[in-house]
Amino acid sequence: MSASNIERVWAQALLEAAREKKRLEAVAGQARLLRQLLADVPPLALFLASPKVAAAEKKAVLDKACRKRIDPLVMDFLGLMTDRHRAMLLADILDAFQDLYHEEIGVLVAHVRTAVPLAEAETKRMGGTLEKITGKKIELDARVDPAILGGLVIKVEDTLFDASLKSALKDVGERMRRAHMETEVLYADSNR
């Protein structure tokens, strides 16, 4: 089984358990928070991924960090993952779970990157526009990425819309390079 299959199997197991217990929405929210915690606290992700740390120690840290805030179903799932030496895949499993959850409820996630934070009105307008285009409910995953310099990049499923300044500058540079090469060829031809 490839890693992506393993992640999907674990994510599917969590989804089915949450659905069976009628706590799907709560578990999805907590999985999103847990995923954010792993992104915000890289040492925790490294700790969980370390093969040198015993499963019991990982479970104790997870219990201390999460027990009061996380659904017992999710805590049991984390414990089982740790016992089966899958804690290093937790972030990927949580990502796969979110994908499955969104499929389950009929929501598409639009990943939006902008150079500066979007205003609430812009976010609502963008979400509404994307819902009209796709015909599905949209959940925006808006993130600030100063590397794009300006504009925005939107990815919905396999469709990418890149209206970033970085992309536009790259395109201008490419056109200038081609124009320069064409000029050199014309110049070389005229000197023969």
Q: Is residue 76 part of a domain?
A: yes
Contact yes or no for 61/90 (Cβ under 8 A): no
Predicted model pTM: 0.68
How is residue 93 written in tokens? 């499993």
Whether residues 43 and 71 share a domain: the answer is yes
Residue 24: pLDDT band with limits 50, 70, 90: very high
pLDDT of 70 > 90? The answer is no
Whether residues 23 and 86 share a domain: the answer is yes
Whether residues 64 and 13 share a domain: the answer is yes
Q: Is residue 72 part of a domain?
A: yes
Q: What is the pLDDT of residue 192?
A: 63
Whether residues 67 and 131 share a domain: the answer is no
Whether residues 96 and 111 share a domain: the answer is no
Whole-angstrom Cα distance, residue 80 to residue 94? 14
Q: Is residue 140 part of a domain?
A: yes
Residue 11: pLDDT band with limits 50, 70, 90: very high
Domain count, the chain: 2
46: domain CATH number is: 1.10.520.20
Whether residues 17 and 78 share a domain: the answer is yes
pLDDT of 147 > 80? The answer is yes
pLDDT of 22 > 50? The answer is yes
Query: Mean of the per-residue pLDDT values for the chain?
Result: 85
Q: Is residue 190 part of a domain?
A: no
Residue 71 domain boundaries:
3-104
